Structure 1
Amino acid sequence: METLRERKKRRTREALLRAALELFTTQGYEQTTIDEIAEAVDVSQRTFFRYFAGKEDAAFAVQAMTEEAFVAAVRARPPHEAPMKALRQAFLEGWDTIRETVESVVPVELHLRMYRSIESTPALLAAHLRRSAATEETLARVLAEREGVDVDADPRPRLAVAVFGGVIRVTERHWCTSEDFGLESIRMLTATYLDQVGSALTGNWRTS
């Protein structure tokens, strides 16, 4: 059971996180200072650093939670599922859990606005790609463990995750430039693109 002290710390962290994302998405990541984030919550800069290593840490805090939830969902998939199906189903069937993870700390709408800010901010986009590479390596090792293969000797786990990660990146780019801002649109777009992977890789694209 959460103690009063723990509840207060959690609420302070969440307040700082919401303030940071609101400022990042309204006035810009580069233009926002840590002092402004702390001032928005009426705490000191020192208090901010008790919860976050810096602005980048705050910018990706919610995303880090969703990544952890997704990795956990992949681990929990039935062992008989093929690797690509396990990745697909973990994403699609775990969507509600991922959404609940976001909603537990910030409004979904704010998280989605931050997602678009990441795509349009070079420093954040570079960090996002770096973080994605690290998550893909974790997923490759999870798949290797599931399948009983050596991730460093067998290229298939990393290849499967690279294909899946590529679909996610295409989906992100498409969604970030579309007018449909809803959370469900990301899920549907991802499902549609994942369904086309087989034909895109092995099919004949030319029409007679």
Structure 2
Amino acid sequence: MGLRERKKEKTRLAIMDAALELFLEQGYESTTVEQIAGAVEISPRTFFRYFTNKDHLAMWFHDHGEEIMLETLAERPADEPPFTALMHALRAVLTDVQSSTPDDASRFLKLRKLLDGNPHLVGKSVARGARTERRLAEVIAARRGVDPDEDQLTHLIVAFAMSTMRVGFECPRRDGTMEEIQRRMAESIELAERCLRPGWDLRH
């Protein structure tokens, strides 16, 4: 990463940190873009170079996870069974979580707290996750040589994989630490692979 990229990343993280503190301190709806920008000593225009709005900032983990999964799928062998490829993509997300810095972990846990306290953001999170599933379905359909608008199996493959991730992140929630999340996600991936017979995803 060059100097310019490092500076941009530093600014992006500073915006996120300031926003999360304000969201949790005074409420999501009560926090304005102007307040976030002011806390980082940037202009609102600069804020919008990094995030389109507050919701975009609150959903950043979707963007990050989607990028990791798509990059991983692009690197997997073309003849690999699609569900297997998706499990490798989930493991790449898990590896990223495991390599999180303390600051990364703190941001993630603050975002979970933010969503817990704002049900309308949960709905936005579900909608954002649905967009990720659609993009993944397009990739899996291309690997299988089928039309994503016509092939139900493709969408089931993606839905099963993403359900594995959701269960890993959310069920059952106990102490809410990053260590617990990592452990549950690893267990969820292993359970999914054990429960589904190899080759189930190869039928047309």
Distance 1:120 1:164, change over 3 A: farther
Determine the structure 2 residue equivalent to 1:206.
none
Determine the structure 2 residue equivalent to 1:132.
129
Shift of 1:126: 0.9
Residue type matched to 1:118 in 2? L
Determine the structure 1 residue equivalent to 2:28.
29
| Higher alpha-carbon deviation: 185-194 or 83-92 | 185-194
Shift of 1:15: 1.4
Shift of 1:17: 1.9
Distance 1:99 1:189, change over 3 A: closer
Identity of aligned residues (%): 35
Determine the structure 2 residue equivalent to 1:162.
159
- Figure out how many residues of one structure are paired with residues of the other and give that number: 197
Q: Provide TM-score, normalisation by structure 2.
A: 0.80
**Alpha-carbon RMSD:** 2.9
Determine the structure 2 residue equivalent to 1:185.
180
Answer whether contact 2:62 2:129 (CA < 8 A) is retained.
no
Determine the structure 1 residue equivalent to 2:148.
151
Shift of 1:95: 2.9
For 2:196 and 2:80, locate their aligned partners in 1 and report how far apart those are by CA, in whole Å: 21
For 2:8 and 2:93, locate their aligned partners in 1 and report how far apart those are by CA, in whole Å: 28
Q: Provide TM-score, normalisation by structure 1.
A: 0.78
Residue type matched to 2:76 in 1? R
Three-state SS of the structure 2 residue aligned to 1:107 is helix
Determine the structure 1 residue equivalent to 2:66.
67
Three-state SS of the structure 1 residue aligned to 2:159 is helix
Shift of 1:8: 4.1
The Cα offsets for residues 22-70 of structure 1, whole Å up to 9 and x where unpaired, read as 3224443223222221121122333323322211111123431222111
